[in-house]
């Protein structure tokens, strides 16, 4: 069968790499893709906001299965549009109603409250309620977490350790700092614990749990400095043992999937549970309606199942028949970024030394082919992913390979996994 995978990041290279191993695959198209995906499939230029262009691609390329990588088009209703246009097309990704779990923090908080799913205490305020919100902040314990309701390119969460700073940020958000995403702001209790990422595939009734991972969001070693899209990931996560996973499944995953069905949300796709362990208990920080990046780069190499089979079972409502098989190895991914990231950075730097990684895979993110060679084309440039028997070994392999890869201004964290060993 022909598959169309939408997206251009490291997550999509990892999904493409995994799908390319399936004997069900005839042709794999990645739109728009990156230099890495062009080596395992066919890249197709695409403006992701142009749903009509996507539907034309599906016809022209005779695609049987569409997998949507990023959240933007899901929240904007791409799956609704495609389902209406092609009622029998297999599509992995929720409709807009289900994607609200990521697209609206206020929606997801209300969902969790309604279904008894553990999450931080919160209140939400619109612009009309700004004064109520400012008063609420006066007595709120510190630190306090402010969240723009809508999608804000990963920047919409601000943690404040000072009341006057929190009041200023709160006002700025309601007055348009993040555009319409901040028309409603959630004020939330700060949770102090260790985070981890759980992924499931659901067909709306049943679910299958994929390998657990942990990502590293801060730019600096020791988890210091600015937030990024993700500087590395590890799978599995040693502290997420069977007991903890049982609680996650019973108190979080099962009520979430039941809640999706009960509320009539239309959901056939990945659910990403951003969790935090506080005093031995898992609590939901956020939902995402897609796979994580850079977690996917460490999760897919451990998944033994045929990903196309899993995708088809998801779209057909047959997930209950699938059995997930996981490689017990540890996988570590180290993300190499452009100098200056997450601030401003330059593109178009020649990349050398990426060939041949015996201990794993190099997943591209912000790369493209220019004049026959591979150059940087984004802030997060690539992930060096390695298998190992332990976290130390997998991270060491990735560090060794990263040291052989060169582009002007390249930076990566050498301490991925530091808190797990």
What's the min distance (Å) between Cβ of 29 and ligand AMP? 29
Q: Tokens 């409502």 appear where?
A: 317
> What are the C-alpha distances in Å from 196 to residues 177, 237, 284?
29, 8, 10
Q: Please give, one letter per residue, the 3-state secondary structure of 238-292.
A: CCCCHHHHHHHHHHHHHHHHHHHHHCCCCCCEEEEEEEEEECCEEEEEEEECCCC
Out of ligand AMP, ligand GLY, none, what residue 259 binds, judged by CB under 5 to 8 A for its kind, is none
Specify the DSSP element, H or E, that contains 11.
helix 10-19
Nearest to 416 by CA among 228, 244, 264, 265: 228
* Closest chain position to ligand GLY (CB): 292
Choose between 228 and 315: whose C-beta lies nearer to ligand AMP: 228
Pairwise CA distance, residues 304 & 360, whole Å: 15
102 binds, among ligand AMP, ligand GLY, none (CB under 5 to 8 A by kind): none
What is the smallest separation between the CB atom of 187 and ligand AMP, expressed in angstroms? 10
Q: Which is nearer to ligand AMP, 223 or 415 (CB)?
A: 223
Q: Report the nearest approach of ligand GLY to the CB of residue 286 (Å).
A: 8
Given the complex with ligand AMP, which of 196 and 407 has the nearer CB atom?
A: 196
Select 38 or 184, whichever has its Cβ closest to ligand AMP: 184
The maximal CA–CA distance of the chain, rounded, in angstroms, is: 60
In angstroms, what is the minimal distance from the CB of 250 to ligand GLY? 24
Q: Which is nearer to ligand GLY, 66 or 285 (CB)?
A: 285
Report helix, strand or coil for 337: strand
| Rounded distance between C-alpha atoms, residue 124 and residue 119, angstroms | 14
The item of ligand GLY, ligand AMP, none sharing an interface with residue 295, based on CB under 5 to 8 Å by kind, is ligand GLY
What residue has token string 């069905």?
261
Smallest gap, in angstroms, from Cβ of residue 72 to ligand AMP?
A: 14
CB under 5 to 8 A by kind: which of ligand AMP, ligand GLY, none does 77 bind?
Answer: none
Tell me the closest approach of the beta carbon of residue 274 to ligand GLY, in angstroms: 7
292 binds, among ligand AMP, ligand GLY, none (CB under 5 to 8 A by kind): ligand GLY
> Which residues are paired to 160 by β-bridges?
144
CA 151, CA 155: separation in Å to the nearest integer? 9
DSSP string across 98-145: HHHHHH-HHHHHHHHHHTT--B--EEEEEGGGHHHHHHHHHT--SSEE
- To ligand AMP, the closest distance from the beta carbon of 216 in angstroms equals 11
Residue 215 binding result from ligand AMP, ligand GLY, none, given CB thresholds of 5 to 8 Å by partner type:
ligand GLY
Placement of tokens 């005839």 in the chain: 26
- Residue among 235 and 288 whose Cβ is closer to ligand GLY: 288
In the bound state with ligand GLY, the residue whose beta carbon lies nearer, of 58 and 99, is: 99
Instruction: Residue 220: name its binding partner from ligand AMP, ligand GLY, none (Cβ under 5 to 8 Å by kind).
Output: none
Closest C-alpha to 401, from 341, 336, 337 = 336
- How far apart are CB 145 and ligand AMP at their closest, in Å? 4
When CB distances are held under 5 to 8 angstroms depending on the partner's kind, the choice from ligand AMP, ligand GLY, none that residue 122 binds is none
**Please, how many CA atoms are within 13 Å of residue 369, restricted to the half-sphere of its CB?**
11
Q: How far is CA 152 from CA 23, 177, 317, in A?
A: 38, 10, 32
Q: Return the structure tokens found at 351.
A: 């990349």
Distance CA 151, CA 335 (A): 23
Please report how close the Cβ of residue 11 comes to ligand GLY at its closest, in angstroms.
Answer: 7
At its nearest, how many Å lie between ligand AMP and the CB of residue 12? 19
Where does this chain bind ligand GLY (CB under 6 A)? Answer: 215, 230, 288, 292-293, 295
257 binds, among ligand GLY, ligand AMP, none (CB under 5 to 8 A by kind): none
Positions touching ligand AMP (CB under 6 A) are 120, 145, 154, 157, 188, 190-191, 195, 274, 285-286
The interface partner of residue 120, options being ligand GLY, ligand AMP, none and the CB cut-off 5 to 8 Å by kind, is ligand AMP
Q: DSSP H helical segments within 333-405, as ranges?
A: 391-404
Q: Which is nearer to ligand GLY, 133 or 229 (CB)?
A: 229
| Between 149 and 206, CB nearer to ligand AMP | 149
């Amino acid at each position: 069968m022909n598959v169309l995978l939408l997206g251009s990041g490291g997550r999509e290279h990892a999904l493409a790499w995994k799908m390319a191993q399936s004997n069900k695959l005839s042709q794999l198209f990645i739109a728009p893709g990156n230099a890495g995906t062009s080596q395992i499939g066919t890249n197709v230029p695409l403006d992701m906001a142009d749903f009509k262009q996507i539907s034309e691609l599906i016809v022209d390329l005779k695609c049987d299965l569409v997998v949507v990588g990023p959240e933007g088009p899901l929240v904007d209703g791409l799956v609704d549009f495609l389902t209406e246009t092609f009622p029998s097309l297999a599509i992995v990704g929720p409709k807009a109603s289900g994607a609200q779990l990521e697209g609206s923090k206020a929606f997801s908080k209300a969902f969790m409250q309604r279904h008894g799913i553990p999450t931080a205490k919160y209140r939400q305020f619109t612009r009309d309620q700004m004064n109520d919100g400012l008063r609420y902040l006066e007595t709120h314990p510190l630190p306090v977490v402010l969240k723009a309701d809508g999608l804000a390119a990963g920047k919409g969460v601000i943690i404040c350790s000072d009341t006057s700073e929190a009041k200023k940020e709160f006002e700025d958000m309601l007055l348009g700092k993040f555009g319409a995403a901040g028309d409603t702001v959630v004020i939330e209790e700060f949770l102090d614990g260790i985070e981890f990422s759980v992924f499931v595939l659901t067909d709306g009734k049943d679910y299958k749990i994929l390998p657990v991972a942990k990502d590293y969001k801060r730019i600096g070693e020791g988890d210091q400095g600015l937030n990024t899209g993700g500087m590395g990931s590890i799978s599995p996560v040693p502290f997420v043992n069977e007991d903890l996973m049982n609680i996650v499944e019973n108190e979080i995953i099962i009520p979430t999937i039941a809640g999706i069905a009960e509320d009539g949300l239309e959901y056939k796709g990945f659910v990403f549970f951003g969790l935090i362990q506080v005093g031995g208990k898992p609590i939901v920080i956020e939902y995402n309606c897609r796979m994580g990046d850079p977690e996917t780069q460490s999760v897919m190499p451990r998944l033994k199942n045929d990903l196309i089979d899993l995708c088809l079972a998801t779209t057909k409502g047959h997930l209950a028949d699938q059995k997930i098989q996981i490689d017990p190895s540890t996988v570590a991914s180290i993300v190499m970024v452009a100098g200056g990231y997450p601030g401003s950075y330059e593109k178009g730097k020649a990349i050398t030394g990426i060939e041949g990684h015996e201990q794993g895979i190099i997943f591209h993110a912000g790369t493209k082919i220019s004049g026959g060679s591979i150059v940087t084309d984004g802030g997060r440039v690539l992930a060096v992913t390695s298998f190992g028997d332990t976290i130390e070994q997998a991270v060491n392999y990735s560090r060794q390979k990263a040291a052989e890869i060169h582009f002007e201004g390249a930076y990566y964290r050498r301490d991925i996994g530091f808190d797990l060993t």
